[in-house]
Structure 1
Amino acid sequence: MSKKNIELTIEEFASPLVEGLGYELVDIEFIKESGEWYLRFYIDSDNSDGINIDDCTTVSRALSAKLDEVDPIEESYYLEVSSPGLDRPLKKDTDFIKYSGKKIKIKFYKPFMEKKVMEGILKGLVESKIIVTVNNTDIEIDKDIVASVRLNDF
């Protein structure tokens, strides 16, 4: 199974499990680093205090039990659960609505308007097009050409 398919398979059961615990599943990464596989979950909360170590421990225990039950990964791996951090990735359509008005950094697969990276103010999402204001001009960007979008409010 491909890395992407593993992430999608895990997201199907992990998202409702994490939400059932009162958190939001922001992202999942299954990645090889220094010869070792890591399965990383990024979680968030509407709590004004953000995510703390106890939150990560609670979610990690629940995910570990479910991963043992479902066993979707053949390789051995390290399980990690953490906050998405200040440069939170925006992936879901709802993210583009929730964070409208915030500064973002967009990276492209190949140059768009002669740039590989663009910064601006997120206006929203309309029919799979990201609307961003750059130098007082609204620009529509097809999500298909975007490698990543992250908050850039720091």
Structure 2
Amino acid sequence: MVKSKTEQLIIDELERLAPTHGVDIVDVEITGATKAPCVRVRLEGEGGASLSLDEVCAQTAWVSDAVEALDPIASPYTLEVSSPGLDRPLRRPSDFMRFQGETCELTTTATEGRRRFKGVIAAASDTSATLELEDGERLEFAFDDIKKCTLKPVFDFKQKEGKN
């Protein structure tokens, strides 16, 4: 996955510390203005377990201390620590393997004039992921070319048979 140097620096440090706190770092993203960016850290329990709001709050102190010790951003910034949510980012090969069969939206470096793709994760390996698009076409993407990928949950709002 394509990450900025600063994002990768933060990810590496948090992943080094996370096991001692019983969590897994899902993603780190720096967004917003250059003068006052937002550093978003998404985490979950080990093995993909969900975290409650209280559990996320309890993790915020060590995350804040770790990011502050790195001092990766010269200007003031906002730190957000949260769970991944429904539109969970996928960053590692293991994420793509875990969510095989799920729908995602992927942004990649320019590929024949197209950069955004939406489809079902049909396959994943240590080096690439294959999406099956809505028209049935299958495209393989090297992880080094993927800029961003998020799950896109599919909701079925049809009423179940026998229910009014």
Q: What TM-score, normalized to structure 2?
A: 0.75
- Distance (Å, rounded) in 2 between the aligned partners of 1:93 and 1:27: 13
Moved more, 62-71 or 17-26: 62-71
- Distance (Å, rounded) in 1 between the aligned partners of 2:114 and 2:30: 28
- Distance (Å, rounded) in 2 between the aligned partners of 1:74 and 1:10: 14
Aligned residues: 149
Alignment of 1:1-154 (within 5 A): 4-33=4-33, 35-45=35-45, 46-47=48-49, 50-112=50-112, 115-126=114-125, 128-134=127-133, 135-154=135-154
2:74 partner letter: E
1:149 partner letter: C
Moved more, 137-146 or 92-101: 137-146
Q: Which runs of 5+ in 2 are unaligned?
A: 155-164
Which structure has the highest strand share of the two? 1
- Distance (Å, rounded) in 2 between the aligned partners of 1:36 and 1:72: 13
2:52 partner letter: N
1:98 partner letter: R
Which structure has the larger Rg? 2
Question: 1:63-90, CA deviations, whole angstroms, 9 ceiling, x for partnerless residues?
Answer: 1223344433322211110122111111
Q: Which runs of 5+ in 1 are unaligned?
A: none
Identity %: 23
Backbone CA RMSD of aligned residues:
2.5
Q: What TM-score, normalized to structure 1?
A: 0.79
What secondary structure sits across from 1:84 in the alignment? coil
